[in-house]
Amino acid sequence: MKILLTGGLGYIGSHTAVDCIENGHEVVIVDNLSNSKIEVLGSLKQITGKNIKFYKCDLCDFNKFSKILKKEKPDQVIHFAGLKAVGESVQKPLMYYNNNLVSTLNLLKAMELCDCNNLIFSSSATVYGEPKSVPITEDFPLSATNPYGRTKLMIEEILGDYQKANKYFNVVILRYFNPIGAHDSGLIGEDPNGIPNNLMPYITKVAFGKLKQLSVFGSDYNTPDGTGVRDYIHVCDLAHAHVLAINKNTENKGLLIYNVGTGKGYSVLDIVNTFIKNNKVDVPYKIVERRPGDIAECYASSKKASKELGFKAKYNLKDMVTSAYNYEKKHTNL
């Protein structure tokens, strides 16, 4: 099938592009490069041996984007494009609402114009707000605590309304938990601009001396070691969930929603200590105050994705920390 990936040069999109190609799909990427680099395209060619069609285009530019979609006529679209930094979304809410909502509305309008009726959408565990218990199942109440999360929630609702109005439209909403790690080749991985907000890219920068020390946000949570617990999933496992979702969309089921996590929770100190032990490096850290807005524990029930998509995580925590380290190593001039 021909699959168009919006935001396909980003962290999750690039790994998904590889898996799609390895599963016999043709990939077309549209990205405005606001949070990715054109060099990723070369890395994708190196990994897959395939020339991938790329358009530099902002989805907020409807005229330009709809022409691309009309020309390419993909069988399915995977919509990764979006801004994703929680803190920045609090500072610049209009930028987040504009980029994430307008790009999605433009995508849906353009898909309608060219009769493309199959979509996979990147949602997030953030839509569960502060969950009442763990593991989290897909029917838990939804809420948002910041503008970024609210864009995901709003888009989920828009997709629901649109699907009700268009019975030919199939959409799989994937609610990602915490993707970390990198492709085995070390050629693609997570490369955030500026100082990372997320745990794993921060750890790798500290390990290579680019940042002095990690701040562990809080050690007084009601968790086994007092630090926050999350469901970390290898980005290649997450990427594969999209290939399974492509297959699912062909069953014409309308709207489907799946958590994509491993179902296992690890604490911040589990991650730091596994990273230190497996990569034989030092990661200086200190315990500081809790980060405002953080929750104690968040991990998925992955039963629905397992039963209905056939999803099963292949990689363990050791694979996640070693691949993250190897990617950073390859991209650091020591």
Q: Give the nearer residue to ligand UFG in terms of CB position, either 243 or 296.
A: 296
Nearer of residues 34 and 247 to ligand NAD, judged by Cβ = 34
Helices 199-207 and 268-279 meet at what angle, rounded to 10?
A: 40
What is the distance between the terminal CA atoms of the chain, rounded to a whole angstrom? Answer: 42
Residue 199 binds which of ligand UFG, ligand NAD, none (CB < 5-8 A, kind-dependent) = ligand UFG
> Rounded to whole angstroms, how far apart are CA atoms 26 and 294?
39
Among 22, 88, 138, 294, binds ligand UFG (CB under 6 A): 294
- Residue 62's CB is within 10 A of a number of other CB atoms, namely 16
Length of the chain (residues): 334
Is 64 exposed, middle or buried, given 0-12, 13-18 or 19+ CB atoms closer than 10 A?
A: middle
* Beta partners for residue 297, in sequence order: 229
Query: Does position 232 bind ligand NAD by CB under 6 A?
Result: no
Residue 217 touches which of ligand UFG, ligand NAD, none (CB < 5 to 8 A by kind)? ligand UFG
* Span 151-210, contacts to ligand UFG by CB under 6 A: 176-178, 197-199, 202
User: Which residue of this chain has its Cβ atom nearest to ligand UFG in the complex?
Assistant: 228
- Per-residue mark of binding to ligand NAD, 100-129 (x: CB under 6 A): ---x------------------x-x-----
Q: Looking only at residues 86 through 115 of this chain, which bind ligand UFG when binding is defined by CB under 6 A?
A: 86
Min dist CB 131 to ligand UFG, Å, is 11
Exposure class string for 81-112: b at 16+ Cβ within 10 A, else e: bbbbbbebbeeeeeebbebbbebbbbbbebbe
Segment near ligand NAD (CB under 6 A), from 7-15, 163-171, 300-308, 312-320?
7-15
Check if the beta carbon of residue 184 is closer than 8 Å to that of residue 43.
no
CA angle (172, 48, 108) in 5-degree steps: 30
Tell me which of 66, 99, 204, 249 binds ligand NAD, using CB under 6 A. Answer: 99
**Which residues, at least 6 apart from 255, have a Cβ–Cβ distance to it below 8 Å?**
159, 160, 163, 170, 171, 173
Q: Is 148 a catalytic residue?
A: yes
Residue 103 interacts with which of ligand NAD, ligand UFG, none, CB < 5 to 8 Å by class: ligand NAD
Residue 54 interacting partner from ligand UFG, ligand NAD, none (CB closer than 5 to 8 Å by kind):
none
Residue 80 touches ligand UFG, criterion: CB under 6 A: no
Question: Which residue is it, tokens 């492509």?
Answer: 246
To ligand NAD, the closest distance from the beta carbon of 241 in angstroms equals: 12
Site stretch for ligand NAD (CB under 6 A), options 10-18, 199-207, 210-218, 270-278: 10-18
DSSP string, 93-134: HHHHIIIIIIHHHHHHHHHHHTT--EEEEEEEGGGB-S-SSS
Residues numbered 199 to 228 that lie near ligand UFG (CB under 6 A) are 199, 202, 214-217, 228
Amino acid identity at 118: N
CB of 218 to ligand UFG, least distance (A): 6
262 within 8 A of 237, measured Cβ to Cβ: yes
Work out whether strand 76-79 and strand 118-124 pair parallel, antiparallel, or are unpaired.
parallel
**Residue among 187 and 206 whose Cβ is closer to ligand UFG:** 206
Q: From the candidates 55, 148, 258, 315, which is the catalytic residue?
A: 148
Q: Which residues bind ligand NAD (CB under 6 A)?
A: 6-7, 9-13, 31-36, 58-60, 80-84, 99, 103, 122, 124, 176, 178-179
Q: Which residues bind ligand UFG (CB under 6 A)?
A: 84, 86, 124-126, 176-178, 197-199, 202, 214-217, 228, 230, 268, 291, 294
Catalytic residue set: 148
